[in-house]
């Protein structure tokens, strides 16, 4: 060793200046540089791309050091140093408390209250049988960089390891500070294998809040039975930590994933009006949600106590919104509060909750804001002096919804009403009509006879010269049928003050030009009276025109409720949550399937928790704004009985609804019955791209069925998703098996489709289409009058006033508009399909990274194809005078309510 020191000029553990190395050889499990007859250990020099460099991307930085550590390889192992660069993301805005604790931690760091790290090898020590570990080291420069204002700050740490250490597979971290910090990534330089990347993206809690060591694995994926010996115990420990013991109240700093029923929507402590039934269980089957462990309410031991805003709901710490997303969401809520606060105060100063006086008053919401008389405005400013000097109009001015941006009166046209059934915010309810009149599936013993009032004479004149049978056999008739969803609840709904609705059916005819036209609407009420079922057909005069407009409004109200409660919330938010919980509990972060699913799970648990707190809860936004009122979630639970995971993929769903038929000659395996069905046509492009990407990924790791069946983590994930997460339907025969690579591809493609494209198609058009309330009223307050009604005279004398009194009031409308504006808004940190953080190093498998870039390129090509379709005049459902282009499945978007963009996950 002395000779080595004399030859090289320094000790093997001394710091040295860095030199460029060349002629790198692999020798004795590490790179060597040949110098004469000596082989010397080296570290490659690297360059850090700083955040202000134009080349900087969201990837883990390489080591911010350039000193090569030179070693002679003796016969016995020697110790040498490797260096880590730890990237920590700072808060852009911190409050006084955060700032104070940061300074305390900076001071304490100088006296040993450090961030302590330790490297763990993939190998075990043959003498002890335990994983090889480096000596513990501390994160350097914390106190010196405590005042750095950059969002991302790089710290360094030196590890001392033996030359036979092997490849690092994990890093443990202990945070001895008082405050958590967000560790974005770690890169290790100095090993023969080259840089080793650890994509962390996690909050590291103070040891006082979360005792023990945090474990981070490298980006190298391993199936369970391929886990290196040095990582096996850590792999199991990390999963045990994430599962918890199912007991106790969860703290906000916890990282525990567990299940519970929906027993937190009501608040019985506030009174009988706030009691809501538990969803989940034999009586009302429902998917499970993330367990918080809160204590029961004072009144009902089976109901969980409430946590009301602004107090946060528990989700595992890493599931909470990151700062950019949280700021966007908070700003949207603030904007919504201001939009709704002024109408609320206006209503208080008014003798009653006012209706819109005319359509021009609705238009003024977008051009001027809600008009307040001078006295009301003065009182408002007195109550909120911080707004003094602000222009009142700007406080309440809404963005112009896209539905009125090109044609102010498009919403009144029948062709636009029909177009939205296949290219609007809810294009997944329409079905091919195979039997006329339509048949109910409700139990007649419970709900009475349910024969339809629709007759052949109602529609035969609208079939372009075809007979009814010819139209049925020619696949020309389609239906949006909400009869069975709503009818069992109508008596209870219509008993609510200010609610009056029907169960609707709408029949459409496919015209030779490729568009649809509505040809009949059936409005049903419970009971055998003559008014229980009414049929409306396209108008022939002024009176029937207004009756037709009212009937269409009731259809749109049914559609808005079913869309929100069934197709949107239940089938994309609630039904995917169990798969996410199970993934964290059963799939290690180093499992390849976890790495595949990771971007498609982002923020979903948080947004679902916020929904339970403020949207779907008793007296929440959904109950206040939608027709079913307090029965909203019971309707959602009733629909879950008909949910089938095996039919949630796009091709299977299209076939189920009769909108497509199997056809192996088609690129996507199905042939659409409506060629110009924008949602389906664009959706099949996205589905096919996801399917090909997932198939490539799965086949890489699972070359045969045995590999699938013998993967204990994978099988445990799928089994738990079904048996615990969807426990109420666990015994259904339709659950797909998981025995082959094709099975796994189908299951994963469906989950990714639901979390990304399906949710995007159902969510981000809510304000562009629903922001103009007459186009899509979320609730109705009056039934359609007939000649025997006392109101019929008023209807005849002023049909516009009657229409405006039927749709939401001014206060209801503005509250709804504020909410759907928030729900339709992308944040600046959104990750869209074909994107992911650290795209070049999220996996240590180079073939998979390359395949992902191919998938990303395919998504780019699809976006261009969608743009071309929207310019094709032959496609009249997406191109034409005043016709909105269909962009809800266009992959990319900027921030805001853009009516386009497919985030990777359910983020809002």
In the block, residue with structure tokens 């027709």: 627
Burial of 229 (0-12, 13-18, 19+ CB in 10 A): middle
DSSP state of 744: H
Q: Name which of 160, 142, 137 is nearest 88 in CA terms.
A: 142
Task: Please report how many Cα atoms fall inside a 13 Å half-sphere around the Cα of residue 234, on the Cβ side.
Answer: 30
Secondary structure (DSSP) of 348-386? HHSSS-PPPSSHHHHHHHHHT-S---HHHHHHHHHH-GG
859 is annotated as an active-site residue: no
568 is annotated as an active-site residue: yes
Give the span between the Cα atoms of 654 and 157, in whole angstroms: 55
Q: What's the token pair of residue 87?
A: 């990237």
Q: 627-665: string of b/e by CB count within 10 Å (b at 16+)?
A: bbbbbbbbbbbbbbeebebebbbbbbbbbebbbbeeeee
Q: Name which of 299, 907, 211 is nearest 608 in CA terms.
A: 907
Strand pairing category for 152-162 and 137-138? unpaired
Burial of 238 (0-12, 13-18, 19+ CB in 10 A): buried
In the block, residue with structure tokens 């559609």: 559
Give the span between the Cα atoms of 203 and 180, in whole angstroms: 6
Q: Name which of 482, 503, 624, 674 is nearest 563 in CA terms.
A: 482
Give the span between the Cα atoms of 97 and 319, in whole angstroms: 23
- HEC profile for 525-578? CCCCCCCCEEEECCCCCHHHHHHHHHHHHHHHHHHHHHHHHHHHHHHHHHCCHH
Q: Which of 635, 759, 833, 904 is catalytic?
A: 759
Q: Which of 90, 219, 763, 775 is catalytic?
A: 763
Q: Name which of 813, 828, 886 is nearest 398 in CA terms.
A: 813
- HEC profile for 459-520? HHHHCCCCCHHHHHHCCCEEEEECHHHHHHHHHHHHCCCCCCCCEEEEEEEECCCCCEEEEE
Q: What's the token pair of residue 582?
A: 């199970």
Q: Is-contact 86 156, C-beta < 8 A? A: yes
Question: If DSSP codes are grouped into helix, strand and coil, which group holds residue 63?
Answer: coil
Strand pairing category for 137-138 and 115-124? antiparallel
Q: Name which of 481, 484, 485 is nearest 505 in CA terms.
A: 481
CA 800 to chain centre: 39
All residues at 6 or more sequence positions from 54 whose CB lies less than 8 Å from its CB, including other chains? none
End-to-end Cα spacing for the chain: 62
Q: Name which of 563, 623, 625, 578 is nearest 266 in CA terms.
A: 623
Other C-beta atoms closer than 10 Å to the C-beta of 560 total 26
Q: Which of 483, 573, 591, 600 is catalytic?
A: 573
Q: Is-contact 613 309, C-beta < 8 A? A: yes
Longest Cα–Cα distance in the chain: 111
In the block, residue with structure tokens 């250990």: 41
Q: Which of 568, 584, 668, 826 is catalytic?
A: 568
763 is annotated as an active-site residue: yes
Q: Name which of 593, 567, 592 is nearest 579 in CA terms.
A: 593
Q: Is-contact 482 505, C-beta < 8 A? A: yes
23 is annotated as an active-site residue: no
In the block, residue with structure tokens 């980006």: 219
- The catalytic site residues sit at 568, 573, 759, 763, 908
């Amino acid at each position: 060793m002395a000779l080595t020191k004399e030859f090289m000029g320094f000790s093997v553990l001394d710091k040295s200046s860095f030199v460029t190395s060349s002629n790198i050889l692999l020798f004795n499990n590490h790179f060597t540089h040949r110098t004469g007859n000596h082989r010397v250990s080296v570290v490659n020099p690297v360059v850090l791309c700083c955040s202000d460099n134009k080349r900087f991307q969201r990837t883990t930085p390489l080591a911010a050091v350039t000193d090569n550590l030179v070693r002679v390889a003796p016969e016995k192992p020697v110790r040498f140093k490797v260096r880590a660069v730890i990237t920590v993301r700072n808060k852009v805005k911190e409050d006084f408390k955060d700032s104070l604790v940061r300074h305390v931690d900076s001071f304490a760091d100088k006296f040993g209250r450090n961030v302590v790290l330790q490297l763990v090898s993939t190998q075990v020590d043959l003498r002890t049988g335990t994983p090889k570990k480096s000596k513990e080291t501390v994160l350097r420069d914390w106190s010196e960089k405590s005042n750095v204002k950059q969002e991302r700050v790089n710290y360094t740490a030196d590890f001392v390891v033996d030359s036979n250490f092997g490849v690092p597979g994990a890093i443990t971290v202990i945070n001895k500070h008082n405050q958590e910090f967000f560790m974005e990534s770690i890169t290790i330089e100095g090993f023969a294998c080259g840089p080793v990347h650890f994509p962390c993206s996690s909050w590291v809690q103070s040891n006082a809040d979360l005792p023990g060591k945090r474990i981070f694995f490298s980006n190298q994926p391993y199936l369970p039975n391929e886990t290196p010996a040095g990582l096996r115990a850590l792999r199991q420990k990390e999963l045990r930590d994430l599962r918890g013991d199912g007991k106790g109240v969860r703290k906000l700093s916890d990282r525990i994933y567990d299940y519970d029923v929906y027993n937190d929507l009501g608040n019985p402590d506030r009174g009988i009006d706030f009691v809501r039934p538990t969803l989940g269980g034999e009586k009302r089957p429902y998917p499970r949600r993330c367990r918080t462990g809160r204590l029961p309410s004072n009144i009902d031991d089976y109901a969980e106590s409430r946590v009301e805003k602004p107090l946060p709901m528990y989700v595992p710490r890493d599931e909470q919104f990151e700062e950019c997303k949280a700021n966007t969401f908070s700003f949207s809520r603030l904007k919504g509060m201001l939009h709704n606060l002024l109408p609320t105060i206006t209503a208080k100063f008014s003798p009653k909750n006012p209706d819109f006086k005319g359509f021009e008053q609705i238009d003024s919401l977008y051009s001027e804001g809600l008009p307040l008389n001078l006295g009301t405005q003065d009182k408002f400013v007195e109550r909120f002096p911080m707004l003094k000097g602000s222009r009142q109009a700007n406080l309440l001015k809404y963005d112009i919804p896209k539905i009125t941006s090109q044609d102010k009166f498009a919403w009144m046209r029948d062709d636009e009403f029909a177009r939205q059934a296949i290219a609007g915010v809810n294009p997944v309810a329409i079905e091919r009509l195979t039997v006329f009149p339509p048949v109910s599936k409700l139990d007649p013993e419970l709900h009475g006879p349910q024969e339809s009032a629709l007759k052949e004479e109602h529609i035969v004149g609208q079939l372009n010269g075809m007979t009814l049978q010819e139209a049925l056999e020619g696949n020309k008739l389609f239906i949006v049928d909400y009869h069975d969803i709503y009818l069992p609840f109508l008596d209870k709904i219509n008993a609510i003050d200010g609610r009056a609705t029907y169960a609707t059916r709408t029949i459409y005819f496919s015209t030779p030009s490729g568009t649809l036209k509505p040809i009949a609407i059936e409005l049903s009420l419970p009971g055998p009276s003559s008014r229980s079922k009414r049929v409306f057909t396209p108008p022939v005069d002024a009176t029937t025109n207004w009756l037709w407009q009212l009937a269409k409004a009731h259809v749109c109200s049914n559609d808005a409720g079913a869309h929100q409660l069934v197709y949107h919330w239940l089938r994309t938010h609630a039904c995917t949550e169990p798969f996410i919980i199970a993934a964290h509990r059963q799939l290690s972060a180093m499992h390849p399937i976890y790495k595949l699913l990771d971007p498609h799970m982002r923020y979903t648990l948080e947004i679902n928790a916020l929904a339970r707190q403020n949207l779907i809860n008793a007296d929440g936004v959904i109950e206040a704004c939608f027709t079913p009122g307090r029965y909203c979630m019971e309707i959602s639970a009733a629909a879950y009985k008909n949910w089938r995971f095996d039919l949630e993929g796009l091709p299977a769903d299209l076939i189920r609804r009769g909108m497509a038929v199997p056809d192996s000659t088609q690129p996507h395996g199905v042939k659409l019955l409506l060629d110009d069905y924008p949602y389906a046509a664009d959706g099949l492009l996205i589905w096919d791209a996801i399917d090909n990407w997932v198939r490539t990924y799965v086949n890489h790791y699972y070359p045969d069925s045995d590999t699938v069946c013998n993967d204990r983590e994978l099988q445990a994930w799928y089994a738990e998703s079904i048996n615990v997460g969807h426990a109420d339907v666990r015994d259904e025969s339709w659950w797909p098996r998981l025995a082959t690579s094709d099975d796994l591809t189908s299951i994963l493609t469906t989950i990714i489709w639901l979390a990304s494209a399906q949710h995007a198609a159902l969510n981000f058009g809510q304000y562009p289409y629903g922001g103009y309330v007459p186009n899509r009223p979320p609730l109705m307050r009056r039934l359609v009058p007939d000649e025997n009604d006392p109101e019929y005279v008023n209807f005849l004398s002023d049909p516009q006033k009657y229409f405006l009194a039927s749709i939401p009031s001014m206060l209801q409308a503005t509250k709804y508009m504020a909410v759907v504006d928030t729900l339709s808004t992308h944040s600046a940190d959104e990750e869209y399909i074909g994107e992911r953080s650290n795209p070049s190093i999220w996996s240590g498998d180079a073939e998979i990274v390359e395949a992902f870039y191919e998938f990303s390129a395919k998504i780019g090509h699809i976006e261009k194809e969608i743009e071309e379709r929207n310019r094709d005049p032959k496609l009249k459902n997406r191109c034409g005078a005043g016709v909105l282009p269909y962009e809800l499945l266009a992959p990319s978007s900027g921030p805001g309510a853009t009516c386009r963009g497919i985030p990777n996950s359910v983020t809002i």
